[in-house]
Amino acid sequence: MAVEITAALVKTLRDQTGAGMMECKAALKEADGDLEAATTILRKRGLAQAAKKSGRTASEGVVSSYIHMGGKIGVLVEVNCESDFVARTDDFQALVKEVAMHIAAASPLYARREDVPGAVLESERAIYRAQMESSGKPANVLDKIIEGKINSYYEQFVLLDQPSIRDPKVTIGQAVTAAIAKLGENVSIPRFARFKLGGQ
């Protein structure tokens, strides 16, 4: 017997996911009224749509500042989207604030993986190789271990790869992808600057 999809059920799903009414209704029908399953369906669709949107030009947005610890740490961050309308929404502003606070706390060195200079990566690889040389492991195993350590380097120093200080189970990159799915526009973080009183 088919479960009746009530307006209250649709509203609950909308409140939880931020998706449109018709999308919520369709997901609930597909999930036979199961809220959790419907949420998963919407998330999968949203992430698929976010992947399509990530190639689009994001030339609007904001440059925002965040001052922490009574003026001891300051952050300037540029977060881009596709339209001025989205840049003014509460969801976009909340993401910008979260990113700025994260930069203040986590002190990333680079915004994206492609921003890490090749010389830095080569230097890191050389250090890891030197550490492992006496281990007696075969070259192909060493290469895999070194690439794993490079991924750990990204997680430590690259903004989009860092676990969010708000929710360590989610990276900043995943938070941006979720924002793309919710806002319906590409969102990117091309650059930031972090200042600490008295130097680094």
pLDDT in tens, the chain (200 residues): 567 888 888 888 777 766 677 788 888 888 888 888 888 887 777 655 655 666 666 779 999 999 988 899 999 999 999 999 999 999 999 999 999 999 999 999 999 999 999 999 999 999 998 888 777 788 888 889 999 999 999 999 999 999 999 999 999 999 999 998 889 888 999 999 999 998 75
- What is the reported pLDDT for 187? 93
Q: Please, what are the domains in the chain?
A: 7-53 (1.10.8.10), 60-112+158-196 (3.30.479.20), 117-156 (1.10.286)
- What is the reported pLDDT for 109? 97
* Rounded-to-integer distance, Cα 194 and Cα 73, Å: 7
